[in-house]
Amino acid sequence: MNRFGLQLLTALTFLLTSFTATAQSDFLQGNTFNYDNQLVSGFSEDGRVKVLLLTLLPYDLTETAAEKIGHALQLNLFNTNHFTVVGPSEWNAQIQERDPTLADCHDIACGVLIGKLFNADKVLVGSVRAETILDENGNEVQGLVLRAKIVDVLTIEIDYDDEVRFTDARLHDSLFQMALRISHNTQLRGYVLKLNAATITVDLGRAHGLKVGNRLVVFRPTTATSTLEGQPLELNFENIAIAEAIRVNDMSSEINLIQRRLSVIIGDQVRTYVNKNKQITLIAQTRKELDTQKRIAPRTKPLKLVPQQLVQEDTGENRWARKYAAAQENEEFWTIAAIAAAGGAVLSASGIIKIDSGIDQYLPWILGGATIYSGYRYVEGRDTVDALRAEGRSSGFLSWKWSPTSGATLAYTLSF
């Protein structure tokens, strides 16, 4: 190969490499599926769970029959007042304008992708097949088997899986029962409408499957989590209370709070399950969360800035005064007792009091002993009074006081 041919080959190789790199860069950095960033519409914004119903995959069955069964299931789901449902006939027309390859989607992968475009909460993926089944009498008849799965768009987890077998005559009854089971096993959400004196009114009632005694979780949206580029990622929620339905009407109910962390306001949301097992699990998890948040919450104590009364320090004067008064009473008691006993002894010894034979002849001895004991206790009490008086003078509790009529006297003053 001459030099010119080699240069031409090198230039073509460079151009091809640059084009490939540019194409790969555009594929990775751009919108891979050639969608714009705006969501398509179709759901009603009334707080109900948004369910995107995919095309039922038929086995041994025509597509027309599968479409009719899917439409009947969509109608029964809507009649539960739990869901707002977009079926294949609604979303197919909008998806074909964006990417015709996603039309008539049957599987979870493309269903979740379409659900995100429609801002759906759940995606219903199902299949229907013709099969020989047993009727009510146990006879083999040609029937249908419908299998449905409820998939969460955010977590891509299967929330509920159900299967029903039916004949043409039992088509609508079987689909109605399946729709009820799906409703009971899917989270029920509503809003706080009114704050009453002792209860709270919410927009969930008997038509939604709520019953008296059902427990609900009250939660509130807090902040939105964003990506590093500032794009909204998800809306965060916090559970603030647990409530119990005490009065259920057709489209509303009154609930009573049984545990709360924050005060409930109008616009807060509630959620629960009609299925008892799922309801118990939800309440148990929420109760644990509320207890944990209550324990880790910083404890605050209000600081009351009020004037405090100043109390004078106790110098011991009150204690001394009580002891001194008790000692004086004790001294006076034994003084009177000694005088009475001595007087009785003198009267009995002098014969003024006649003493008969028997135990009365010991009366002078008894009175004499009482006189000696009373005199001893009087001397002891007087010494105690003198000691307390000396202590009071040294501590400044006693002071001399001059009276024109009685002269100099000893007095004490108590300060409170």
Question: Is the pLDDT confidence value at 31 over 60?
Answer: no
pTM: 0.57
Model confidence over 65-79: pLDDT tens digits? 999 999 999 999 999
Question: Is the pLDDT confidence value at 231 over 80?
Answer: no
Dihedral through CA 71, CA 77, CA 80, CA 84, nearest 10? -100
Which of the 8 DSSP states describes residue 101? Answer: G
Model confidence over 114-126: pLDDT tens digits? 888 888 899 999 9
Mean pLDDT of 149-155: 90
Alpha carbon 288 to its chain's center: 8
Question: Is the pLDDT confidence value at 225 over 50?
Answer: yes
pLDDT reported for residue 182: 92
Mean pLDDT of 405-416: 47
Give the separation between CA 144 and CA 38, rounded to whole angstroms.
39
Question: Is the pLDDT confidence value at 17 over 50?
Answer: no
Say what percent of the chain tops pLDDT 70. Answer: 74
How is residue 291 written in tokens? 């207890």
Say what percent of the chain tops pLDDT 90. Answer: 29
Residues near 202 by beta carbon (within 8 Å), at least 6 away in sequence: 190, 191, 192, 193, 216, 252, 253, 254, 255, 270
pLDDT reported for residue 249: 93
Mean pLDDT of 192-220: 92
> Which residues lie across from 141 on neighbouring strands?
133
